[in-house]
């Protein structure tokens, strides 16, 4: 039956053998409809053929349909024409007006399939021979592959190329050659980075509302000595001040709990110790040879989590007086990038020698490239005193505890002493070793030199030695007259041990 289903392969569906329809006769003319039958319309095929079947144009290439693949089922004919003629199976019944279309009667053709040759079982000798050959091949391939793998892992590979042999030497990343070119930041890092450590702290504080709580901090440090008794690390006093726990992390990743040695707030130098020997210590430079414009490298732990960071710059100035929290420090200035967490880290020259201990940077709008470090000669002198004595010897003290009142904010901060402030702004005593000095006395002068701030007091005391006698002038309120009176008291200066 043609009906546009001539190309179906029914053998695909297991129904009948594979068949091939005979070719149409070239001179065959279209069969005319029988008498009394309606003239069927012709449908143009997009492939150039004419057909009486309205579905023929959809079945030439894209679709391969089977006998029962009519999408309309048996309830509907394949077109809206000649519905009364029915739709008959080509295997029997009356012929459909859509059948043959001039082709000779359909005769199925069965392809000839020659009988399969009888397979003879393999002999035992043949099987043994094949297995032997396979084993030899595997050994050859495995040996060559193993040799190549060994050569690759050992860093040496030989490959044949164009009749010769090319030897490829693989570099070992774990055995990088040391940087030997002095004068580069890479060289400084290679010789000095292991002497710089990360420092983390925990401080327990007490609040009347929240009770006790722990505050964490971070900074840097530099190993200055390492022997049988342990290793000393220099850092900044403000990094470890008040800490109840201090941890030190080496560049190797090893971490140790440190013991507090001592700290000096006047120079911002602190020293801690870890019970580890044989660590790399920094080489200290001769600071007298440091010059302005000299290139330098800073190594530290910026932000408290980027240990071993390296930045570079130059020495901008050698002797700057910088006031931080009321204390005047004599510092080296640099444009090297300094960030929170760098405090206590090292500033090195291009020979990898320590020239300063980083302690501060100037921060603010439109401020860039202002970093500071404690000169290494001052830092090492103080560190040696702290290790040997626990304090810097030869420093004098007046034996008083004071507060600074310079504005209304200070008055509000120290409101509990506000009844003493009627004598004006200045430095007020809140505790004294000498009982002749009273709480609420305002320090007016020492040896007739006026005192108006912490800075004035600290700078003036540095001019004296232990055992000197000074005349201290205080302003004391007379509550009977409600007026301040000036009183002179002679005080012997003693050694400051904390």
User: Catalytic residues, which ones?
Assistant: 238, 268, 343
| Cβ count within 10 A of residue 320 | 13
Distance between terminal CA atoms of the chain? 116
Residue closest to 169 by CA, chosen among 156, 151, 153, 152: 156
Distance of CA 80 to the CA centre of its chain: 74
Rounded Cα–Cα distance for residues 327 and 264 (Å): 12
Spatial CA neighbour of 431 closest among 398, 453, 401: 401
């Amino acid at each position: 039956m043609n009906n546009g289903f001539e190309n179906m392969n029914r053998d695909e569906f297991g129904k009948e053998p594979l068949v091939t329809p005979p070719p149409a006769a070239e001179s065959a003319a279209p069969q005319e409809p029988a008498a009394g039958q309606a003239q069927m319309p012709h449908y143009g095929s997009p492939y150039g053929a004419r057909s009486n079947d309205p579905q023929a144009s959809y079945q030439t290439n894209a679709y391969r349909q089977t006998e029962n693949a009519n999408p309309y089922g048996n309830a509907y004919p394949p077109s809206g024409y000649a519905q009364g003629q029915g739709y008959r199976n080509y295997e029997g019944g009356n012929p459909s007006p859509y059948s043959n279309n001039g082709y000779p009667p359909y005769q199925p053709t069965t392809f000839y399939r020659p009988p399969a040759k009888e397979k003879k079982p393999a002999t035992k000798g043949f099987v043994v021979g094949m297995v032997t050959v396979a084993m030899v091949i595997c050994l050859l391939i495995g040996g060559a592959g193993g040799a190549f793998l060994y050569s690759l892992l050992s860093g040496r590979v030989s490959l044949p190329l164009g009749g010769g042999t090319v030897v490829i030497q693989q570099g070992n990343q774990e055995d990088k050659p040391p940087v030997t070119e002095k004068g580069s930041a890479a060289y400084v890092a290679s010789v000095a980075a292991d002497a710089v450590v990360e420092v983390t702290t925990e401080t327990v504080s007490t609040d009347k509302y929240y009770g006790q709580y722990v505050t964490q901090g971070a900074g840097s440090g530099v190993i200055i000595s390492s022997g049988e008794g342990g290793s000393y690390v220099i850092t900044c006093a403000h990094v470890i001040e008040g800490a109840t726990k201090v941890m030190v992390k080496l560049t190797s990743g090893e971490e140790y709990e440190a013991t507090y040695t001592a700290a000096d707030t006047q120079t911002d130098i602190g020293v801690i110790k870890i019970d580890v020997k044989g660590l790399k210590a920094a080489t200290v430079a001769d600071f007298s040879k440091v010059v302005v414009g000299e290139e330098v490298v800073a190594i530290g732990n910026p932000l408290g989590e980027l240990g071993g960071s390296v930045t570079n710059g130059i020495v901008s100035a050698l002797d700057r007086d910088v006031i931080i929290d009321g204390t005047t420090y004599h510092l080296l200035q640099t444009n090297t990038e300094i960030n929170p967490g760098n405090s206590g880290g090292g500033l090195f020259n291009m020979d990898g020698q320590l020239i300063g201990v980083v302690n501060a940077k100037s921060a603010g709008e439109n401020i860039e490239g202002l970093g500071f470090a404690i000169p290494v000669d001052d830092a090492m002198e103080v560190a040696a005193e702290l290790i040997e004595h626990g304090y810097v010897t030869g420093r004098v003290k007046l034996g008083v505890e004071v507060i600074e009142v310079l504005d209304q904010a200070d008055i509000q901060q120290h409101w509990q002493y506000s009844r003493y402030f009627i004598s004006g702004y200045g430095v007020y005593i809140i505790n004294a070793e000498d009982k002749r000095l009273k709480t609420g006395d305002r320090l007016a002068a020492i040896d007739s030199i006026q005192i108006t701030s912490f800075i004035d007091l600290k700078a003036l005391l540095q001019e004296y030695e232990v055992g000197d006698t000074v005349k201290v002038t205080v302003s004391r309120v007379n509550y009977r007259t409600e007026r301040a009176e000036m009183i002179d008291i002679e005080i012997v200066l003693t050694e400051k041990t904390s």
